[in-house]
Chains A and B, each alone.
Chain A
Amino acid sequence: MKIQRHGAVLGLVAASSLLLGACGSDNNTGAGGSTSSATAASVPVDCGGKAKLNAEGSSAQKNAVDAFIQAYKAKCSNGDLAYNPTGSGAGVKQFNAGQVDFGGSDSALKAPAEVEAAAKRCQSNPAWHLPLVFGPVAIGYKLSGVDGLVLNGEVAAKIFNGGIKKWNDPAIKALNSSANLPDKDIAVVYRSDESGTTDNFQKYLKTASKGAWTQGDGKQFKGGVGEGKEKSAGVAQAASTVDGAVTYVELSFAQDNKLSIAKIDTGSGPVELTNETVGKSIDGAKIKGQGNDLVLDLDSIYGTTTAGAYPLLLATYEIVCSKGYDADTAKAVKAFLTVAATDGQAQLADAGYAPLPKAFQDKLLTAIKAIA
């Protein structure tokens, strides 16, 4: 027994020293794999701590977190994280109850109840919002013979609340003078399930439509026209079957279903949805929170008029404790988030998300470093 135990201890020491060695060498050579994104960076990752982290929340960032987990495992071979995509509300609830190490949410904690509960969970320290995952939302449409349709906030709002019913409406024509718009009914498709995408899209319309969108926001679509389908896959598939259909959906689903993607004119020319245009609007985002609490002022994204900045994004936060973790958990949470903000960004574009621009990444890394 004694010998066995000694053996186990020895093995553990050997393994951990090997691991540390592996991490160290990685740090020295720098992250070569992530050069494809604009966010390549060689940030030292301090692996170790709790072996299996738990997180729960927004399903919108599930694929991104999956990519982060892969990167985390590659970087820290003894690290792992389980993410349960039960929805933002559940994520916040579980985080505040101390059931998970961090929560994923597509909206900031509501003051005062949720903020106070989170502070209590973090041993009387404030919880921080780290906007780590940005998903561009596409206005996808299917209209034979019309490519590169241009819309602006006001026209989009009128399409989605029934103010504009035909594709050859003068308001659409005014933005697409060269396009041959057919005299066809617009078939709006929306999310029938409650979804953060719907919430963000309606918030965008509210901010950017110059008053044309009066329906408010929320997770249920309130436009009052069109037909609902379940989940992103459902709306994208439905829109792709009918000529004249239009919907709002995460970029990857629009691409998979071969929907055309509308450009958005924010006042300084039409902006196509690309990693660069999304990165530009993330860079321009104002932070509402104090210090390292990076709560975004979404209006500054939705209402952007910067040339070449795509305004329609879904931002999701990781909600973490600024302090109050035990040492093991803090170490692992920091390691995971650091990997997520650096190496993890490389695969995001493939998963339909926008990689973080450099300046914003630095802000996040500063905050992650400050977690204790």
Chain B
Amino acid sequence: MTDPVVAKRPAGSGNPGAARGVRAAQHPSEAPIPPTPEAVEKTPHVRPGDRIFRGLATGSGVFIVVLIGAIGLFLLLQAIPSLGLDQVNFLLSHEWNTTDPNNLRFGILDLLQVTVFSSAFALLIAMPISLGIALFLTQYAPRRLARPFAYIVDLLAAVPSIVYGLWGIFVLAPLLVPFQSWLNSALGFIPIFGTGNVKIEFGGTIFTAGIVLAVMILPIITAVSREVFERTPTMHVEGAIALGATKWEVIRTTVLPFGKAGYVSASMLGLGRALGETIALTIILNYTNTAFGWSLFDGGSTFASRIALAAAEFNDPRSAGAYIAAGLVLFVLTFVVNAAARSIVAGHKEYE
């Protein structure tokens, strides 16, 4: 099977006539004698540009893996001594008291719950809106309008998170207070709308924080989804139109299935951002010592905001280690989220 293939190549490429082609086919090793030795020599010969680029690319890849490994290792090494001194269960305790290095009591349960809960709430708001924006920009908006509109959405990502935080607590929170109070009184029988461990009047609830987070991750999800939706093969779209599909049916049968994997991984990217968000949440969320109760009107702090609150006064490696241990859990959490996102994308490869 391989012979004719090899034989055909010089015939096709050379194209000087049938006779030559036939001869070439009969003596595959003879016909391309002049080029072959060169080709044989050239194949192992790598041009410097290739070599340099390959080296750079490999170097970058290795560098980032080593860097991440080093971060993980650093966190682990710094955390272990403090974890050994912890007087309560690190994974299951609500307590967080690191003032006395001789009596460290820290557990991450609340931090983990608040981090995951607020990010999930933000994602719940941001995902459908982003999907709408991305579909509008790629499918409905006139081309002339779509481009500037996309830039404006991208601009949201460039706003510093401290600005979001200040906006959240000074502008948004007071506006949301009546709405939150109403939700709490009307739907309080549902646990997530139940009375939380902070006063709604202050505005520093997970509800407020989640909405701000949603605005922050919106541009990320939108930008990536837009790129993916734009790459829907024209043949699919035209095929659907030819079968008499309406605009909505075209989107449902071609754009969405094609872009689903990209959309999900975009959302996971946004979730990663939400999990690690620090300053905005530090400003917005009301700190509390009461345990988290799965209500949107709870306060508390996330991994990142708890670390930010204490970072200014780190003066004992043992106390600092407690926060580093919390950082390690966030690191692992983000890793798990990203790995999940990758596996979802990998599982949907057939659409690409």
Same complex origin of A and B? yes
Where the two chains meet, the residues of A that have a C-beta atom closer than 8 Å to any C-beta of B are 59, 86-90, 92-93, 187, 189-190, 192-195, 218-220, 224-230, 234, 237-238, 241-242, 245
**Residue in A87, A229, A242 with the greatest tally of chain B CB atoms within 10 Å:** A229
Interface range on chain B (Cβ under 8 Å from partner)? 20 to 34
- From B9-17, B125-133, B231-239, B281-289, the one touching the partner chain is B281-289
Q: Identify 5 residue pairs between A and B in the complex whose beta-carbon atoms are under 8 Å apart, listed by A's number.
A: A189-B202, A194-B312, A220-B97, A227-B287, A237-B170
| A-B pairs, 3 with minimum CB distance | A89-B315, A228-B287, A192-B287
Given contacts A224-B289, A241-B174, A241-B202, are A230 and B312 in contact (CB under 8 A)?
A: no
Given contacts A187-B202, A238-B202, A241-B201, are A229 and B314 in contact (CB under 8 A)?
A: no
B204 near A227 (CB under 8 angstroms)? yes
- Interface flags, B303-325, vs A, CB<8A=1, else 0: 00000011011111000000000
**Which residues does chain B contribute within 8 Å of A219, judged by CB atoms?**
99, 313
- Interface flags, B91-114, vs A, CB<8A=1, else 0: 000000111100000000000000
A229 near B315 (CB under 8 angstroms)? no
Which residue of chain A has the shortest Cβ distance to B99 in the bound complex? A218
B313 near A195 (CB under 8 angstroms)? yes
**Which residues does chain B contribute within 8 Å of A93, judged by CB atoms?**
315
Partner of A193, one of B98, B100, B309: B309
Which B152-188 residues have C-beta < 8 A from chain A?
169-170, 174
Partner of A227, one of B100, B198, B282, B313: B198
Where the two chains meet, the residues of B that have a C-beta atom closer than 8 Å to any C-beta of A are 97-100, 169-170, 174, 198-199, 201-204, 282-283, 286-289, 299, 301, 309-310, 312-316
**Which residues does chain A contribute within 8 Å of B283, judged by CB atoms?**
230, 234
Further pairs besides A88-B315, A187-B201, A218-B100: 5, Cβ < 8 Å: A193-B309, A194-B312, A195-B313, A227-B204, A230-B287
Given contacts A187-B201, A227-B204, A242-B199, are A87 and B312 in contact (CB under 8 A)?
A: yes
**Which residues does chain A contribute within 8 Å of B312, judged by CB atoms?**
59, 86-87, 193-194
**Residue in B169, B202, B282 with the greatest tally of chain A CB atoms within 10 Å:** B202
Partner of B309, one of A59, A230, A238: A230
Which residue of chain A has the shortest Cβ distance to B319 in the bound complex? A194
B313 near A193 (CB under 8 angstroms)? yes
Given contacts A192-B309, A234-B283, A238-B202, are A90 and B315 in contact (CB under 8 A)?
A: yes
CA gap between A195 and B287 in the complex, in Å: 14
CA gap between A233 and B150 in the complex, in Å: 36
B286 near A227 (CB under 8 angstroms)? yes
CA gap between A228 and B288 in the complex, in Å: 6
A117 to chain B, nearest CB (A): 13
A227 near B202 (CB under 8 angstroms)? yes
B7 to chain A, nearest CB (A): 76
CA gap between A180 and B153 in the complex, in Å: 53
**Which residues does chain A contribute within 8 Å of B310, judged by CB atoms?**
193-194
A91 to chain B, nearest CB (A): 9
Partner of A241, one of B203, B288, B309: B203
**Which residues does chain A contribute within 8 Å of B287, judged by CB atoms?**
190, 192, 227-230
**Residue in A88, A190, A230 with the greatest tally of chain B CB atoms within 10 Å:** A230
B166 to chain A, nearest CB (A): 10
CA gap between A225 and B199 in the complex, in Å: 12
A194 near B309 (CB under 8 angstroms)? yes
A188 to chain B, nearest CB (A): 10
**Which residues does chain B contribute within 8 Å of A230, judged by CB atoms?**
282-283, 287, 309
A229 near B313 (CB under 8 angstroms)? no
B315 near A87 (CB under 8 angstroms)? yes
B214 to chain A, nearest CB (A): 22
CA gap between A165 and B310 in the complex, in Å: 28
A89 near B201 (CB under 8 angstroms)? no
B299 near A227 (CB under 8 angstroms)? yes
B204 near A238 (CB under 8 angstroms)? yes
CA gap between A228 and B299 in the complex, in Å: 9
B189 to chain A, nearest CB (A): 22
B301 near A192 (CB under 8 angstroms)? yes
B286 near A89 (CB under 8 angstroms)? no
Which residue of chain B has the shortest Cβ distance to A189 in the bound complex? B202
B195 to chain A, nearest CB (A): 13
A61 to chain B, nearest CB (A): 14
CA gap between A219 and B98 in the complex, in Å: 10
A238 near B286 (CB under 8 angstroms)? yes
**Which residues does chain A contribute within 8 Å of B314, judged by CB atoms?**
87, 89-90
A97 to chain B, nearest CB (A): 13
B99 to chain A, nearest CB (A): 4
**Which residues does chain B contribute within 8 Å of A88, judged by CB atoms?**
313, 315
Given contacts A220-B99, A228-B287, A238-B286, are A89 and B204 in contact (CB under 8 A)?
A: no
CA gap between A92 and B316 in the complex, in Å: 12
B199 near A227 (CB under 8 angstroms)? yes
Which residue of chain B has the shortest Cβ distance to A196 in the bound complex? B313
A87 near B288 (CB under 8 angstroms)? no
Which residue of chain B has the shortest Cβ distance to A225 in the bound complex? B289
**Which residues does chain A contribute within 8 Å of B97, judged by CB atoms?**
220
A224 to chain B, nearest CB (A): 5
**Which residues does chain A contribute within 8 Å of B170, judged by CB atoms?**
237
CA gap between A241 and B169 in the complex, in Å: 11
CA gap between A190 and B288 in the complex, in Å: 9
B124 to chain A, nearest CB (A): 25
